Amino acid sequence: MTTNNSPSNSPLSGIHTPVMLERCIELLAPALSAPGAVLVDATLGMAGHAEAFLQRFPELTLVGLDRDTDALAIAGERLAPFHDRIHLVHTVYDGIGEALAGLGIPEVAGVLFDLGVSSLQIDRVDRGFSYSKDAPLDMRMDNTQDFTAERILAEYSEADLRRIFRDYGEEKLAARYAKAIVESRDATPFVRSGRLVEVITAATPVAVQRMGHPAKRVFQALRIEVNQELAVLERAIPAALESVAVGGRIVVMAYQSLEDRLVKRALAAASGSTAPAGLPVELPEHKPVFTLLIRGAELASEDEKAENPRATPVRLRAAERLRRAE
């Protein structure tokens, strides 16, 4: 392993600041130092984390997964100097098993997840992820799919809108917003984010508006529904754990509570004993398969939050495989 800590010379390195980069490297390093190690970056994005790992570990092979074709194009350009050590795959991260099988890789030394919407998706206004800029109501992470936020707002019943705002946005005014949207779309369909923000704001009591942007949770809920983020994540973490070799490690960064709860449950299940309650002696086959590397979830430092505001909500969890299940 090289200890070169110099900044990247890539012309793309300035467009994205990876969250908790040094901590991710520290946690995964023990598993990646051996020759021939393979790391899966399951949420490649613009390859900020991937580039750093390839620089630090000169014998590392990286498999980068992303559903966003724009991100894959940028990552391919950024990682061109490492072309003989990378495999970039267009897939959602619950396709990790199929991606590795297609590459003939039976198991890996490490897996990294950096969940949520990417910097690329937020910063490109025309993608429609931000409630602060007027744009088409798109919100697709994979622009090859057909399902958009515009379709949800046009086709979902009031009850279904209320459900996703409540369940995926944890929005207390879900019923009020769903009713306002259904009433408004009868006159004019929702096509752009600016009009949706106007309707939500008009339906929000003034006192509540002072507590934060009223559209924030609705936009989160729509994004999660468009991209089926929670359903995908619920499949992806077990699939990723299955791919990790003995001594291998997984690091997951989540940015909202719904994601973090799923990650917490999956890692807790993998790191817990399966022995029946009251069994006097734990048999080898009941011993935990993984061990947690962090107690609870780790947050970004105050310095990093100040330098990179997108690190503010992050919750990092990590585990190491102890053995193969019998």
Task: Tell me the torsion sign for CA atoms 260, 262, 263, 265.
Answer: positive
The Cα–Cα gap between 84 and 106 comes to: 19
Q: State the Cα–Cα distance between residues 19 and 24, nearest whole angstrom.
A: 9
Task: Please report, for residues 15, 119, 141, the alpha-carbon distance to residue 123 in angstroms, rounded to integers and kept in the order given.
Answer: 10, 6, 13
Phi-psi region of 219 (alpha: psi -120 to 50; beta: other; left: phi over 0): alpha
**Which residues sit opposite 319 in a β-bridge?**
250, 292
| Residue 177 assigned ligand-binding role | no
- 256 known ligand binder: no
66 is in an annotated binding site: yes
- The reply to whether 87 sits in an annotated binding site is no
DSSP E strand boundaries for the chain: 38-41, 61-66, 86-90, 108-114, 244-254, 290-292, 315-321
Whether 156 has a binding-site annotation, put simply, is no
The residues facing 254 across adjacent strands are 315
Q: Is 70 annotated as a binding residue?
A: no
The answer to whether the annotation marks 154 as part of a ligand binding site is: no
Binding residues for S-adenosyl-L-methionine: 47-49, 66, 93, 114, 121
Binding residues: 47-49, 66, 93, 114, 121
